Amino acid sequence: MDKDFIRELIELVKNSNIRSLKIENEEGKIVIETHRGEVVQPRIERKPRQVEDFRHQEVLPPSEDISEEEKQYHVIKSPLVGTFYRSPSPGAPPFVEVGDIVSPGQVLCIVEALKVMNEIESDVRGKIEKILVENGETVEYGQPLFLIDTEI
């Protein structure tokens, strides 16, 4: 789903008496809920994509938070606000480490939002060059999480 479309939906809910809005289409489902009358928290659940869909995926410009040197890498960004977890449970090994080769659809981490564990998957084949977030850290929508070298 388009970021501007999601932002417009958030503003619509924020400026109305709507408590919850759910939209579902072929790309996925988005649920926006208000809490305490002011805070709007989006939750995006993506449907699995076919491999050929990745060729048509929009490439977003690199974030200003990433250095010039790191712009050569593919950036995996958080699709929602929540808490970043590197492993499926406390004490379990992390999904990925720096240097691991990942494939499209492979789970890289979990972002917990509203008590829902959202698996974040790789959309490219490549090598994990850098993990930009610490385990248990709060992440924002669009925040870079991983740098992946696709030229392996």
Residue 73 lies in a domain: yes
Q: Which domain holds residue 134?
A: 60-152
Interstrand relation of 28-35 and 39-46 (parallel, antiparallel or unpaired): antiparallel
Identify the three-state secondary structure at position 96: coil
Return the percentage of the chain with pLDDT > 70, whole number.
Answer: 75
Residue 38 Cα distances to 14, 42, 43, 67, 98, angstroms: 7, 13, 16, 35, 39
Model confidence at 45, in pLDDT bands (50, 70, 90)?
Answer: low
The reply to whether 90 and 137 lie within a common domain is: yes
Tokens of residue 85, six digits: 């977890």
The reply to whether 110 and 73 lie within a common domain is: yes
Q: What is the DSSP letter of 53?
A: G
Residue partners of 55: CB distance under 8 A and separation at least 6:
none
The reply to whether 36 and 2 lie within a common domain is: yes
Residue 107 lies in a domain: yes
The reply to whether 143 and 73 lie within a common domain is: yes
Residue 53 lies in a domain: no
Residue 119: which CATH number?
2.40.50.100
Q: How does pLDDT run across 52-73, given as a tens digit for each residue?
A: 444 444 444 444 555 555 568 8
Identify the three-state secondary structure at position 150: coil
- Residue 14 CA to residue 33 CA, distance in Å, equals 9
Q: How does pLDDT run across 84-119, given as a tens digit for each residue?
A: 998 888 888 989 999 899 998 889 999 998 888 888
The reply to whether 87 and 122 lie within a common domain is: yes
The reply to whether 70 and 42 lie within a common domain is: no
Amino acid found at 152: I
